Amino acid sequence: MNLQPSPTDEAFRAEVADWMRRHLKGRFASLLHRGGPGDEEADPALRKEWERELAAGRWTCVGWPAEAGGRGLSIEQQVIFHEEYARAGGPGRMGHIGEGLIGPTLIAFGSEMQKRRFLPGIVAGTEFWAQGYSEPGAGSDLANVQTKCWQEADGSWRVQGQKVWTSLAHESEWIFVLARSEPGSKSRNGLSFLLLPLSQSNVRIQPIRQMSGGSEFNEVFFDGAVAESGHLVGKPGEGWKVAMGLLEFERGVSTLGQQMHFAYEFDLVVKAAQANGASANPQIRQRIAQAWCGLRVMRYNALRMLSGGERPGLKREALIYKYYWSNWHRELGKLAMDVLGPAGDAISDDPRIRPLQQLFFFSRADTIYAGTNEIQLNLIAERGLDMPREPRPAV
């Protein structure tokens, strides 16, 4: 156990920090600390330009292998990149679904043609992606996908059905979809993984207005929407394997970057408490200290996750992580509003108030998406403690 960074890593850290300082300014200055979860509607056009600025500096897809267009950075250096990016106030990444989800999936499961067609656009920040997994009847029970797909005589695929909670679909060119290709199949069997362009007449995108007022998420309706014959990933009927493989790519490298943003939000709360005198209230002081404890836990927990050779998905600290950070973040949102007091109840554009209100409202989603609290606790009990599994429907 050693907390001292190596000189090479320190030099790399300085390089990232320096690049961010020189580029995240001028016309991009308005993006500082913007565009994260809950704020994804912040100036998408400018954020796409920022993606291309990053690409010009070779700072997109830094963890991808060089032959795929990435930098092939080590885990340690990826962590450093994400930390320094967030520390500098780098905006929420428009390209994160492409870079973090579909890109690695194509690298692992895609055909040569698919890699050639899609990876360069992700690396260059010119093509953006949406994720089509959840459906009205397939939330926690993701395998209960009802959207259908079938192959036409010319080899192309058609998709019929509805996806929901697709973030930024209206700002994206492409969507990847999990759909049932074998009629009558159930659960994980008979699913296929398809890539579709969003700009076609038989795709309709409808925004969902959130409790926070904004609309980062959408419903996407497919009415015989077309995917090219070569745009099925893996084999027909093996879509579940591809979809789950995708989750394996989450190595936790971006979690330390996420924590930098959490630390930034924590500082906003402390500043608000100092400004209005709430910081003298003993209960508020206790809760601020408690929130700080959580920040330290998340940092060391992430370092545990990233150390050693075990597969990260199987480690105890990795199992608890999503549940821990999402509940911590939700508590911070409540603390922020309690610090603000009645001032927090007024709809406000004050930069000292608005981000805290966004935090309060959007963090309610944190414990629901990507595995609800209840699903997380099932996973922890079953995988972490070997307790009996929930009964599953017969397949």
Partner 1 sequence: MNFAFTADQVMIRDAAQSFLADESGSAAVRAASASETGFDAGVWQRIGSELGWCAIPVAEEHGGLGLGAVELVLVLEQMGRQLLCAPYFSTVCLAANLLTQVGNEQALRRFLPAIAEGHLCATAPLSSGADDWLDAAAQIQARRKGEVWTLSGHCPRVPDAAAADWLLLFAQVEGERKAALFAVPREVAGLKIEALEGWDATRRFSSITLDGVTLPAEDRIDDASRIEDGLSRAAALARLAIAAEQLGGAQQCLDLTVAYTAARKQFGRAIASFQAVKHRCAEMMVRIEATRSAVYGAAALAASKTTADALALECAVARTLASDTYFYCAQEAIQLHGGVGFTWEYDPQLYFKRAQASSHWLGNADGLRERIAQALIA
Q: Which residues are catalytic?
A: 250
CB of 29 to partner 1, least distance (A): 29
Residue (94 or 273) nearer to partner 1, CB:
273
As a whole number of angstroms, the distance between CA 239 and CA 126 comes to: 26
Report the interface residues with partner 1, using CB under 8 A: 1-6, 9, 76, 270, 273-274, 279, 282, 285-286, 288-290, 292-294, 296-301, 303-304, 306-308, 316-317, 319-320, 323-324, 374, 376-378, 380-382, 384-388, 390
Amino acid, res. 198: L
Token pair for residue 144?
């209960």
As a whole number of angstroms, the distance between CA 329 and CA 362 comes to: 10
Residue (342 or 388) nearer to partner 1, CB:
388
Assign 66 to helix, strand or coil. Answer: helix
As a whole number of angstroms, the distance between CA 20 and CA 89 comes to: 9
Residue (138 or 303) nearer to partner 1, CB:
303
Residue (179 or 375) nearer to partner 1, CB:
375
As a whole number of angstroms, the distance between CA 241 and CA 387 comes to: 25
CB of 95 to partner 1, least distance (A): 28
CB of 15 to partner 1, least distance (A): 17
CB of 48 to partner 1, least distance (A): 34
CB of 8 to partner 1, least distance (A): 11
Q: Which of 114, 76, 283 minimizes the C-alpha distance to 194?
A: 114
As a whole number of angstroms, the distance between CA 384 and CA 161 comes to: 36
Residue (112 or 390) nearer to partner 1, CB:
390
Residue (9 or 182) nearer to partner 1, CB:
9
Beta bridge partners, 157, equal: 151, 227
CB of 80 to partner 1, least distance (A): 9
131-153 b/e (C-beta count within 10 Å ≥ 16 → b):
bbbbbeebbeebbebebbbeeee
Residue (150 or 324) nearer to partner 1, CB:
324
CB of 36 to partner 1, least distance (A): 23
The four Cα atoms 178, 184, 187, 189 give a dihedral, to 10 degrees, of: -70
As a whole number of angstroms, the distance between CA 175 and CA 98 comes to: 10
Q: Other C-beta atoms within 10 Å of 264: how many? A: 15
As a whole number of angstroms, the distance between CA 298 and CA 252 comes to: 12
Cα 244 from chain centre: 15
Residue 187 has φ and ψ, to the nearest 5°, of 55, -130
Token pair for residue 2?
């050693």
Q: Other C-beta atoms within 10 Å of 374: how many? A: 12
Q: Which of 130, 184, 192, 189 minimizes the C-alpha distance to 158?
A: 192
As a whole number of angstroms, the distance between CA 138 and CA 390 comes to: 17
CB of 348 to partner 1, least distance (A): 23
What DSSP character marks residue 380?
A: I
Assign 163 to helix, strand or coil. Answer: strand
Residue (63 or 239) nearer to partner 1, CB:
63
